[in-house]
Amino acid sequence: MKSHARVVVIGGGVVGCSVLYHLTKLGWSDVMLIERSELTSGSTWHAAGGFHTINGDTNMAALQGYTIRLYKELEEITGMSCGLHHVGGVTLADNQERFDQLVAERAKHRYMGLDTEILGPEEIRKLTDGLVNLEGVIGGLYDPLDGHLDPSGTTHAYAKAARMGGAEIVLHNRVLETNPTKDGWEVVTEKGTVTCEHLVNAGGLWAREIAAMAGVYLPLLPMAHQYLVTDDIPEIVDILKSGREFPHVMDPGGESYLRQEGRGLCIGFYEKPCEPWSVNGTPWDFGHELLNEQFDKIEDSVNFAYRRFPVLERTGVKRVIHGPFTFAPDGNPLVGPVPGLKNYWSACAVMAGFSQGGGMGLALAQWMIEGEVERDPRGFDVARFGTWTTPGYTVPKVIENYQMRFSVGYPNEERPAARPFRQTPMYDTFDKMGAVWGQQYGLEVVNYFALPGEPRHEEPSFKRSNAWEATAQEVQALRTGVGINELQNFGKYLVKGPNARAWLDRLMAGRIPKPGRLSLSPMLAHSGKIIGDFTISCLSETEFQLTASYGAQGWHSRWFDQNAAPGVTVENISDSRSGFTIAGPKARDLLAKLTHEDVSAGAFKFMDVKRMTIGMANCLVQRVSYTADLGYEIFCDHMSVQHLWKVLNEAGADLGIRAFGMRAMMSLRLDKWFGSWGREFSPDYTPAETGLDRFIDWKKPADWIGKAPATAEKANGPARRLVSFVVDAKDADVVAWEPIWLNGSVVGFCTSGGYSHWTGKSVAMGFLPAAEVKDGLSCEIEILGERRRATVHMDPIWDDGGRMRA
């Protein structure tokens, strides 16, 4: 074993071997993998080996597609077999809500290039040779790329391909310590010490223990998962004799997945009475063992399966596979640079290793070598969980995710496990007012306030929900008077120091404002793609406040750390500075009641920022609003929040002040076509595509990050553009990812949408080819399988002549 490598990967499962292979594929040959036992020890060896492309996150789906296509390439490179069986698969829908979900997924696939298909019961019957009892089944979604493989053969193929690229693999060598050095990491093992520049934790079942060696907590938990393999089944034998194979069948209503295994069937379950495994840590001597059979916890699932697949009831069970594999709280992988540690990378919680392992290996290798990922990684980025996560949070969320893995996923759904956890000082006050809660980055956030007599929860739905009337009233109150909303769900950063302005000039593409003013600016990656949209408030020449998405804190803080410079300090004050936004035609009247400062239109202009005392609280007030109305953001420290709430509401009583939530906010912003982080603005898009280029300071001399590609795109023009639509919708509005049809073809997709309660219109935003964009263009948007007429609107659907700026 050599004593130095550029990269050390800890863990020899399918994900660790994939990372190792992709590092060599992209040009790094001085790489090493260290495994405590044999390759595939842990979860890989006992995996069911199924793979599929379908995923609610379009970037995850694309990476899963890459994974599946990669297997034939591995076979060609290595001469080894991955045991591929491309048999296709169908997901059943036994109620209308589940069918709506499948139809919505099929719509996404139209512009993703996935050749999926909605099938009716009779088509499913033919596909499955009549072996599925279709009682109650409305239809299904067929994916021809579904299949299964040999887990061990595939992992060894990755390993051989990596070795062919120069990688070293060291087996039977447990890692004992990981210690940071000036230039990287020291990895102490049973066979000696290795120093490296980069360390990758692909520890699988032992990822928590490996992370703890570096002082890091990774939010993941092994779950005990059970599947059965049957004896030979005559009907399956007959299918094989005809030269075919039985397809995969996912039955979400029965919490099961079914596929052919040899001359029989394999069926696995995501049962409700599930079992977390080794909550307090995975034993180091665990490896190729299985857990004891537990038929009792899957008894109800088996009985349901006997009804859905009657052939199972008259077939013997050859063997039971019961073993652990790891989940993150939301079921997605934990991949990427771990915040707070230099050159420490996570490749963990990839529970669908044979659907996602190749894509995750590619993504991490790109991140390490090229500095960023080809596709938006936020769905699997380890930074999406902050330092606030604890085992007490992770365990109930993982259990919930396991239990609901096959449940219908609604766009407005708020799942309840591990909540409420993180709360602002206003939580009890809002709760007594009838708040219906959502969460962002672990924080409880008001979605809307239930009306008297209404339930205190929003019904999950693909259509307009029971939040409709309450949201409409909140919008009406703001547009005609004044509304108030808590400012906690902003990420907030204090940038100080003699070099603060110069540092911001390099990080931000936009203009850095003068003292007393604020500006809006995109923050770009080196590729020119958007990694943040910020409000920059200049408090003095050496002090600035940045505000952005609350849920992007981990992402943004890591970027700031990676670009640290002398003479600059960056402090995350997201949870120590809060306050309220007030907006509406009477917002200025309210503010004037509470301060001795001159807040007239001439003295307090749009995009001004001032320090002032409101009531007894020292505040930072900036004249800007996401509601597209006259408005102010009023920041104070957490200790003053309740006082500020009290004085604002008392002074606003005769002005009709009313609290509003995020459902109303997201309706209001659409009136002016304001984009939203994670929807219109993301690392998949560029400033020119989204219109954020209007906030770029093209003339500033600073060599800001992303300048060259952004300038080139400006010269050539983008291939697509973000545009806005008024939609002839009925009872369901655009959410995101719906395909846009023009002249009988899919030419784009939606980024977000909703109902504008103030204008009474269903609206949407999305991308069209730049050459097609023109005001009044008529096209169609597919909502829940139905094409609805949509008209491009280049101007805002509501603008009172400048009330926001007046």
Instruction: Supply the CATH number for residue 690's domain.
Output: 3.30.70.1400
pTM of structure: 0.95
441 and 378 Cβ atoms separated by less than 8 Å:
no
**CB 49: neighbour CB atoms within 10 A?**
23
- Sort 396 into a burial class: Cβ within 10 Å, 0-12 / 13-18 / 19+: middle
Residue 261: inside a domain = no
> Per-residue pLDDT averaged across 29-52, rounded?
87
pLDDT for 806:
84
| pLDDT tens digits for range 540-570 | 999 999 999 999 999 999 999 999 999 999 9
Instruction: Give the type of residue at 30.
Output: D
Q: Which of 95, 89, 94, 91 is nearest to 105 (CA)?
A: 91
Residue 49's pLDDT band (boundaries 50, 70, 90)? confident
Q: Which of 226, 84, 72 is nearest to 150 (CA)?
A: 84
521 and 534 Cβ atoms separated by less than 8 Å:
yes
Q: Which CATH number do you get for residue 771?
A: 2.40.30.110
16 and 347 Cβ atoms separated by less than 8 Å:
yes
| pLDDT tens digits for range 511-542 | 999 999 999 999 999 999 999 999 999 999 99
763 and 794, same domain (yes or no): yes
Distances (CA, A) of 137 to 91, 130, 361, 404: 10, 13, 38, 20
Residue 759: inside a domain = yes
**CB 432: neighbour CB atoms within 10 A?**
8
Alpha carbon distance 576, 595 (integer Å): 23
pLDDT for 197:
98
pLDDT for 697:
98
pLDDT over 90 at 287, yes or no: no
651 contact partners, CB below 8 Å, separation of at least 6: 590, 593, 594
For the chain, percent of residues with pLDDT exceeding 90: 92
739 contact partners, CB below 8 Å, separation of at least 6: 107, 108, 110, 111, 746, 748, 749, 750, 781, 782
Alpha carbon distance 2, 490 (integer Å): 48
Domain span at 541: 489-574+685-696
Q: Please, where are the H alpha helices in 276-411? A: 299-308, 353-370, 391-403
498 and 549, same domain (yes or no): yes
Distances (CA, A) of 473 to 46, 452, 583: 55, 13, 15
pLDDT for 801:
66
pLDDT for 261:
93
pLDDT for 51:
86
Residue 529: inside a domain = yes
In this structure, what token pair is assigned to residue 21?
Answer: 């292979």
**Main-chain phi, psi angles of 452, to 5 degrees:** -55, 130
Residue where one domain finishes, among candidates 696, 729, 756: 696
Cα within 13 Å of Cα(631), Cβ side? 24
> Per-residue pLDDT averaged across 606-634, rounded?
97
Q: Which of 383, 247, 258, 272 is nearest to 315 (CA)?
A: 258
Average pLDDT, the chain: 95
Cα within 13 Å of Cα(301), Cβ side? 26
Residue 402: inside a domain = no
pLDDT for 447:
98
pLDDT for 613:
97
Q: Which of 309, 318, 176 is nearest to 250 (CA)?
A: 309
Alpha carbon distance 202, 56 (integer Å): 24
- DSSP letter assigned to residue 733: -
Radius of gyration of the chain (CA): 28
Residue 4: inside a domain = no
Instruction: Name residue, tokens 């520890």.
Output: 203
Residue 736: inside a domain = yes
The shares of helix, strand and coil residues in the chain, as percent rounded to the nearest 5, are 30, 30, 40
pLDDT for 191:
96
| pLDDT tens digits for range 74-93 | 999 999 999 999 999 999 99
In this structure, what token pair is assigned to residue 696?
Answer: 């770029």
pLDDT for 42:
76
406 and 90 Cβ atoms separated by less than 8 Å:
no
> Per-residue pLDDT averaged across 41-51, rounded?
78
| pLDDT tens digits for range 569-600 | 999 999 999 999 999 999 999 999 999 999 99
Residue 44: inside a domain = no
Residue 526: inside a domain = yes
| pLDDT tens digits for range 218-267 | 999 999 999 999 999 999 999 999 999 999 999 999 999 999 999 999 99
Alpha carbon distance 678, 556 (integer Å): 13
pLDDT for 115:
87
Widest pairwise Cα distance in the chain? 88
| pLDDT tens digits for range 342-364 | 999 999 999 988 999 999 999 99
| pLDDT tens digits for range 108-129 | 888 887 889 999 999 999 999 9
Q: Which of 637, 623, 612 is nearest to 583 (CA)?
A: 623
Number of domains in the chain: 2
pLDDT for 1:
86
